């Protein structure tokens, strides 16, 4: 439960984990567990798009990136794997695969649809001023979401 400025107490929404199959996304889940009280409800989302996949498959299964059904199935498997990581970290979790372009829109829309109270996203550092602070997807999520965002940087 969260206490607002008034005496109203309202339920805390789930944590949204943006999971793309990368080591950094897995690390972000681990780090969030050290910062947040668990058990807590969570949703792991893997955003995908045909042809420009947008995630790293976690299985050895090969698929044709031009076939949306294959990409969607691989995204579901990737999200499920991320959910298993979150479950091991202590979250009460389910997974979803979302077709969206660009990636940040799928993350933000999932957070809105789920009534999330926090989005957790790993950040790949890029060049430039903003890139030194956060990666491209993380920066877009922060810029476009009304939900709080926890950015986890890659370990040194």
d(CA 136, CA 121): 11
Return the pLDDT at 3.
52
Q: What is the DSSP string of 60-83?
A: S----TT-HHHHHHHHHHHHHHHH
pLDDT, position 53: 58
pLDDT of residue 54: 66
Q: Can you give the pLDDT at residue 63? A: 59
The rounded distance, in Å, linking the Cα atoms of 58 and 61 is 9
Cβ neighbours of residue 2 closer than 8 Å, sequence gap 6 or more: 9, 10, 11, 12, 117
Structural element, H or E, at residue 133: helix 129-133
pLDDT at 104: 95
Partners of 17 in the β-ladder: 44, 120
Q: CA-based angle 156:20:57, to the nearest 5?
A: 110
CB–CB of 42/17 below 8 Å? Answer: yes
CATH of domain 11-153: 3.40.50.620
| Helix, strand, or coil (residue 45) | strand
Query: Tens-of-pLDDT digits for all 156 residues of the chain?
Result: 455 555 665 568 999 999 999 999 999 999 999 999 889 999 999 999 876 656 777 877 665 656 677 888 989 999 999 999 999 999 999 999 999 989 999 999 999 999 999 999 998 765 555 444 446 899 999 999 999 999 998 887
Distance CA 149, CA 36 (A): 13
Other Cβ atoms within 10 Å of 29 Cβ, number: 25
Please state the domain extents for the chain: 11-153
């Amino acid at each position: 439960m969260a206490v607002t400025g008034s005496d109203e107490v309202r339920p805390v929404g789930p944590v949204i984990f943006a999971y793309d199959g990368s080591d950094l996304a897995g690390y972000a889940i681990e780090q969030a567990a050290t910062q947040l009280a668990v058990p807590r409800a969570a949703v792991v989302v893997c955003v995908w798009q045909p042809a420009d996949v947008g995630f790293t498959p976690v299985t050895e299964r090969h698929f044709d990136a031009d076939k949306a059904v294959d990409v969607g199935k691989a995204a579901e498997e990737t999200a499920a794997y991320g959910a298993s990581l979150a479950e091991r970290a202590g979250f009460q979790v389910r997974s979803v695969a979302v077709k969206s372009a660009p990636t940040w829109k799928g993350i933000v829309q999932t957070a809105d649809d789920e009534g999330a109270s926090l989005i957790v996203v790993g950040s790949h550092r890029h060049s430039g001023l903003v890139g030194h602070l956060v990666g491209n997807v993380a920066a877009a999520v922060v810029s476009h979401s009304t939900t709080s965002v926890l950015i986890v940087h890659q370990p040194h």
